[in-house]
Amino acid sequence: MARKTPVSCDWSIGAALKGKKPHKENKSALYKHKGKFRWQGIKIEKYKQSSGGWADIARQTLIGNKGETAKFHLRYFEIVPGGHSSLETHKHEHVVICVRGKGKAIAGKKGHILNFLDTLYISPDTPHQLRNPFKSPFGFLCIVNAKRDKPKLLSA
């Protein structure tokens, strides 16, 4: 069965990967934590390729872009002090788990402070944004559907 191009937060990666061969096998893999919230074999990526209401945030895709057939993707995001994700909405859901520092999440009309291991479920079609108004990096794991729609950017 042929694999489809992996989905990415930046939505332009599909075009960039056209013509490249898909991964040959879906193999089990261990990505050893190297310390400082970095994993062996995992590259630090831009949050999104184009600008648009976000600042000072980076992404590492742990599961979801190496040929896995999982129905979810697992990413680690880190926002430096003063940074934030885009304010957006879409049809897919998120699970956000704080693993470094603390941050602020806006989900719908509610604001939440996330501390270590606090877990936030963001339902479909809920406007949301993650921010770091604090003095230390805010890092979180984010689980999303492998097949997902393109975000609709909202203005603050």
The two tokens of residue 36 are 């400082």
Tell me the catalytic residues: 142
The two tokens of residue 71 are 């129905």
State how far the Cα of 149 lies from the Cα of 7, in Å rounded to an integer.
9
CB 146 within 8 A of CB 7: yes
Q: What H or E segment, with its residue span, contains residue 16?
A: helix 13-17
The two tokens of residue 115 are 């501390």
